[in-house]
């Protein structure tokens, strides 16, 4: 009996010790998991680079006595060098395996072969096939100055003279810049934008420097840029069943305000920096807010009622801008559209129809405009919003 109690006591102590150890291990596991979750959860700040410094930087542009071209910020390559790929993949992992702490994850916007899953902004592969398929960003190999467009169509006459032309008329990059990407993505070395936490308040909305996808609207003081919510995979998985992690773009009410809508943190206004003539409530007829439109509106809420009311399920092929981004911080919340009038929350914007970089279609459209048919049993393209013409 005593022996029995002794044995029980010993086993109990052993059990408790093991249980205590197990608890500690479990706690450590939970903390570690939580740490890794916070580090690599898709909602974690995406624009802020993670991984080994040597993935991107070289201190002296020299290794083993072999020198390489120097780049600003000591980067190994320029924008295109890093964001290009010789295969069809559109997310590249540098320095290790996907998910490893030392690995850097890079969105690819320029594939040499046709990309398998182009990202939300499109892919410059297409502009190399046809100059009307994309922005002719100078610096991308095999991309040259557009022969059809001497300057950006719809360029605002007020956007300066020859000094502004390199960015607002062409895409050569600003003075002293080494590539045209920086005409739009105002990567400023001093701000170290690739290393800036773009969501310091953890509300999922990028609403301060380095701005949504490094899109800065005002390159003079004060620093103003585009607001948005950044898809964790740049919408690479958009064709996957149940996918809903869409980018969300800031829209601002242009009704009753300056048609140019200058520096209002919206995506459309950013585009208007070069294409203002096509923008906002310019060219409406019969007075403000009234029909007819003389150029397709942007920066305007979807009309309530009528054919637009049927655009209720968000279609990533025709994204809308949101006046209020706070309701779209979770992927699941991004699946609906509400057409509620010119001053409503969901707006048509430039990117509703166009890609930012390049697409398989003329005019950088998201679809082949010449193949969109009215009243002929077709769907998609223009008919996503203009449902009455199906």
Partner 1 sequence: MDYTRRSQKVCKGSYHNRYRNKGILYSSFITLIVTVIAIKGFSRLVYAKVIGVCSNCHTMHYSQNGTQEPEWGDEGPYGYLLTKDCLGCHTATDGGTWKDPVTGAPIVYNLSEPSYGIEYNGVKQGLAGGNFYWVEHLDDTRGHNIFPGNPDDNLAIAPGEAWAYSPDGCGSNSCHSNLDRPFQASQSFDPIHGYLNGRYGCRGCHMVSGYNRFSQIKSWHHANDSGPVVDSKEEGWFRFLSGHYSGYEHGVAGIEDDDWQYTYSKSDHNEYLGKQVASGTGSFVSIGANTMTAFCCGCHGVFHVKKSAGEWIRHPVDRIIPITNGYELYTEYDPLVPVARPDLTGWTGPRATVNQGGTVQKDMVMCLSCHRAHGSPYPDILRWDYSTIMDEKGCITCHTTKK
DSSP string of 72-104, one letter each residue: GGGBSS-HHHHSEESSS-SEEEESSSTT-TT-E
Which CB atom, from 261 or from 381, has the smaller least distance to partner 1? 381
Provide the binding-site residues for partner 1, judged by CB under 8 A: 132, 148-151, 153-154, 277-278, 283, 285-286, 290-296, 306-307, 353, 363, 369-376, 382, 388-389
Q: How many CB atoms lie within 10 A of CB 289?
A: 13
Which CB atom, from 116 or from 144, has the smaller least distance to partner 1? 144
Least CB distance from residue 102 to partner 1, whole Å? 47
Contact present, 234 and 228 (Cβ < 8 Å): no
3-state secondary structure of 369: helix
Least CB distance from residue 271 to partner 1, whole Å? 12
Sign of the Cα torsion 27, 50, 333, 240 reads: negative
Q: How many CB atoms lie within 10 A of CB 276?
A: 23
Which CB atom, from 94 or from 149, has the smaller least distance to partner 1? 149
Least CB distance from residue 383 to partner 1, whole Å? 9
Which CB atom, from 97 or from 376, has the smaller least distance to partner 1? 376
Region for residue 8 given its phi and psi (left: phi exceeds 0; alpha: psi -120 to 50; beta: otherwise): alpha
Which CB atom, from 165 or from 363, has the smaller least distance to partner 1? 363
3-state secondary structure of 67: strand
Which CB atom, from 250 or from 354, has the smaller least distance to partner 1? 354
Which CB atom, from 9 or from 362, has the smaller least distance to partner 1? 362
Least CB distance from residue 338 to partner 1, whole Å? 19
Closest CA to 100 of 32, 56, 39: 39
Least CB distance from residue 230 to partner 1, whole Å? 27
Least CB distance from residue 283 to partner 1, whole Å? 6
The verdict on whether omega for the bond into residue 210 sits within 30 degrees of 0, i.e. cis, is yes
Which CB atom, from 142 or from 373, has the smaller least distance to partner 1? 373
DSSP string of 191-254, one letter each residue: GTGGGS-S-TT-SS-B-STT-GGGBEEESSSS-EE--EE--TTTTTTTTSTT-----EEE----
Closest CA to 203 of 230, 233, 175: 230
Which CB atom, from 241 or from 375, has the smaller least distance to partner 1? 375
Least CB distance from residue 263 to partner 1, whole Å? 23
The C-alpha atoms of residue 165 and residue 145 are separated, in whole angstroms, by: 13
3-state secondary structure of 23: helix
The C-alpha atoms of residue 308 and residue 344 are separated, in whole angstroms, by: 12
Least CB distance from residue 127 to partner 1, whole Å? 15
Least CB distance from residue 382 to partner 1, whole Å? 6
The C-alpha atoms of residue 215 and residue 191 are separated, in whole angstroms, by: 13
């Amino acid at each position: 009996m005593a022996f029995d109690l002794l044995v029980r006591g010993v086993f109990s102590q052993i059990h408790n010790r093991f249980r205590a150890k197990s608890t500690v291990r479990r706690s450590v596991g939970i903390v570690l998991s939580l740490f890794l979750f916070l580090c690599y959860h898709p909602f974690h700040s995406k624009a802020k680079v993670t991984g080994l410094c040597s993935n991107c930087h070289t201190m002296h542009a020299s290794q083993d006595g072999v020198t390489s071209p120097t780049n600003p910020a000591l980067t190994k390559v320029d924008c295109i060098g890093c964001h290009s790929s010789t295969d069809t993949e559109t997310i590249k992992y540098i320095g290790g395996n996907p998910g490893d702490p030392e690995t850097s994850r890079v969105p690819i916007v320029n594939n040499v072969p046709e990309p398998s899953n182009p990202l939300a902004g499109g892919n410059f592969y297409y502009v190399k096939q046809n100059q009307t398929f994309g922005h002719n960003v100078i610096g991308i190999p095999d991309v040259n100055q557009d022969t059809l467009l001497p300057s950006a169509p719809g360029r605002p006459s007020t956007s300066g003279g020859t000094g502004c032309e390199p960015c607002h008329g062409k895409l050569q990059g600003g003075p002293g810049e080494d590539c045209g990407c920086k005409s739009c993505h105002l990567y400023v070395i001093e701000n170290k934008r690739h290393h800036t936490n773009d969501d310091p308040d953890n509300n999922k909305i990028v609403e301060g420097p380095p701005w949504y996808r490094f899109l800065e609207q005002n390159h003079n003081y004060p620093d103003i840029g585009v607001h948005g919510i950044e898809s964790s995979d740049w919408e690479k998985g958009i064709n996957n069943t149940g996918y809903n992690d869409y980018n969300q773009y800031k829209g601002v009410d242009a009704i009753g305000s300056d048609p140019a809508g200058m520096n209002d943190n919206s995506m459309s206004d950013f585009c208007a920096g070069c294409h203002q003539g096509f923008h906002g409530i310019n060219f409406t007829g019969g007075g403000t807010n009234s029909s007819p439109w003389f150029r397709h509106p942007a920066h305007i809420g979807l009309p309530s009622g009528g054919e637009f009311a049927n655009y209720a399920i968000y279609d990533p092929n025709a994204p809308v801008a949101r006046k209020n981004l706070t309701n779209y911080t979770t992927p699941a919340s991004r699946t609906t559209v509400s057409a509620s009038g010119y001053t409503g929350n969901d707006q048509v914007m430039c990117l509703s129809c166009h890609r930012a970089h390049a697409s398989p279609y003329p005019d950088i459209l998201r679809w082949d405009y010449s193949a969109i048919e009215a009243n002929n049993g077709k769907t998609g393209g223009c008919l996503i919003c203009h449902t009455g013409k199906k």
